[in-house]
A and B are shown apart, each in its own frame.
Chain A
Amino acid sequence: MSIEVKNLTHIYGKNGPYEKVAVDNVSCTFEDGEFIGMIGHTGSGKSTLVQHLNGILKPTEGTVIYNGIDIFDKNTDLRKIRQEVGMVFQYPESQLFEETVYKDIAFGLNNYGIKGDEADIKIHNAAKMVDLDYDLLQKSPFELSGGQKRRVALAGVIAMEPKVLILDEPAAGLDPAGRISVLESIKNLHLTRGITVILVSHSMEDMAKYASKLVVMNKGKLELTGSPKEVFKNQKQLFEMGLDVPNMCKVLAKVRALGFDVPESVFDVEETAQVLCEILRREKC
């Protein structure tokens, strides 16, 4: 059970004056139950790549295999795939349209013929998952604040109970509290339902905190994959791609430059504190 990307290439405006290769022959596999972080500079092709995973975009070449099914095969029912592979776009609040929050969350469910009590339970579960008060459900989505709208849009996808959840910058433009709340909801979802999460983000701190595997894109190509520890070791390479590393990595790099022996795989705040304490203790002796 996995998503397998096979030699995927996507060219925008092919053979036109503005032809652009957005994704260039990318192959990778996302295993079940992983929390994948996808990082890359603006325009590195990460959004384009993830939009292939549920068939929203059609590849120029290559394909995507979901649980053994070629999703771009003519006989594949893409709507069924989209029920299992949920996708939350950048600034998803712009998709809200219904009279009430409740109805908007129900939109996806209704499209798949889920109605009545079954839908009601799922809607309430989804609202709870994203920390949305039940009394907001009967309000118009346009009366809500930006952060609340974002959570409604998120709930609209979560209610469909996808097995894979793709999120494109779900926390962009939110205040720190909203940011943490959204990301924690996603983490809880990952832990309680065991779903695969693919998170596209710019924030290295978030990636270090949540992701179990990182995928680094640069200029349409896959540059690095591996656990955060493995990826953040390549500080220089990441800087060259216009990316960053978590602040703790930078702190430890400076300490290392002073001639101290620091393990390379540390980027967590607590772990860093421990390492530094240890160095200080040794120095005193």
Chain B
Amino acid sequence: MLGDITLGQFYPTNSIIHKLDPRVKIMIALLIIVGLFVADSFYAYLLCTLFIAIAVFLSKVPVGFIFKGLKPLLFIMVFTAVINVFLTDGRTLFKVWFLRATYEGVIIAFVMVLRLFLLVTATTLLTLTTSPIMLTDGIERLLKPFNAIKVPSHEIAMMMTIALRFIPTLLEETDKIIKAQSARGADFTTGSILKRAKAMIPILIPLFISSFKRADELATAMECRCYKGGDGRTKLKVLKCEKRDYIALFSIVILLILIIFLNIFAG
């Protein structure tokens, strides 16, 4: 029943983008978001689009797969576009009833939709090409400087890893409990909202109990293996930047400089 849900959308292809250091990929994703918000001219957007298009091409992830991830955002995109087209002041393009579309509105709408589209594509590409484990590894390393102001970087990463690890387990468990309760005649699909909410109780309580039990067991198992937090802990796979990582970082820096340059001189 719930087995069809795909979570953690990692798409393995062993491309150069996949091999990039996760820290570098997270940094690039963050910087491109900054770049997209800073960009203010046609050429700047063109450059961003080109940059992301090249990354998608290099990742060898089917384009259709990426668009599938964009589907849930379609509504927001259309909504933003419509609002902008009709509610921007400027020269009239056409009129529908009392709504007035403007030239300026169309341009702003296009830019907004393009910005949203690129934002989501860039971040989707990050999760498509980086396994959850690598991702948390990268986040842990990137958060390390903040240890100085008492941010528990290792603990945050460990919590994320564990949460990700248990999503499929919990889905399986939920599926099983739903089956067991419906075998006892439970009905989740008919009745008023209140009645349906009440019907969730026989699923949620066993699920909570088993989660607590699991957490407790996991904590014991970790303690048995002498886990004591991040202090003095070494990594099996130490993240190491290679030539390709420096090239990637260099290219994003160039892109940002170009965007700022274009803003000043073309804007």
- Chain A residues with a Cβ under 8 A of chain B: 12-13, 16, 51, 54, 56, 79, 82-83, 86-87, 89, 92, 94-97, 107-108, 111-112, 142, 156-157, 160
Contact = CB atoms under 8 A, between A and B. Distances in A.
Contacts of A16: 4
Contact of A56 (B173, B179, B201, B202): B179
Contact of B185 (A12, A79, A142): A79
Given A94-B210, A96-B206, A97-B202, A111 B186 contact: yes
Given A89-B179, A95-B180, A83 B206 contact: no
B209 A82 contact: no
Contacts of A82: 182-185
Q: Which of B173, B182, B185: most chain A Cβ within 10 A?
A: B185
B177 interface: yes
Contact of B202 (A86, A87, A107): A107
Given A13-B3, A96-B206, A54 B183 contact: yes
Contact of B187 (A51, A79, A92, A95): A79
B23 to A, nearest CB: 29
Rank and list the top 5 A-B pairs by shortest CB-CB distance, nearest first: A111-B185, A108-B184, A97-B205, A95-B180, A87-B183
Q: Which of B184, B205, B206: most chain A Cβ within 10 A?
A: B184
A97 B206 contact: yes
B15 interface: no
Nearest to B203: A97
A123 to B, nearest CB: 13
A94 B184 contact: no
B207 to A, nearest CB: 9
A56 B183 contact: yes
Given A12-B3, A94-B206, A97-B202, A89 B187 contact: no
22 contacts: A13-B4, A16-B4, A56-B179, A79-B185, A79-B187, A82-B185, A87-B183, A92-B180, A94-B177, A94-B206, A95-B177, A95-B180, A95-B202, A95-B206, A97-B202, A97-B205, A97-B206, A107-B181, A107-B184, A111-B187, A142-B209, A157-B183
B91 interface: no
Nearest to B181: A95
Contacts of B4: 13, 16
A12 B3 CA distance: 9
B2 to A, nearest CB: 12
Interface residues of B, number: 20
A94 B183 contact: no
Given A13-B4, A94-B173, A95-B177, A156 B184 contact: yes
Nearest to B179: A56
Interface in B157-204: 173, 176-177, 179-187, 201-202
Contact of A89 (B176, B205, B209, B210): B176
A267 B179 CA distance: 36
Contacts of A160: 184-185
Main SS class of interface, B:
helix
A51 B179 contact: yes
Nearest to B199: A111
Contacts of A107: 181, 184, 186, 202
A181 B127 CA distance: 52
Nearest to B177: A95
Given A13-B4, A142-B209, A97 B201 contact: yes
Nearest to A58: B1
Contacts of B183: 54, 56, 82, 86-87, 89, 157
A271 to B, nearest CB: 37
Contacts of B3: 12-13
A82 B202 CA distance: 17
Contacts of A97: 201-202, 205-206, 209
B215 to A, nearest CB: 15
Given A97-B202, A97-B206, A157 B177 contact: no
Contacts of B173: 94
A86 B184 CA distance: 8
A87 to B, nearest CB: 4
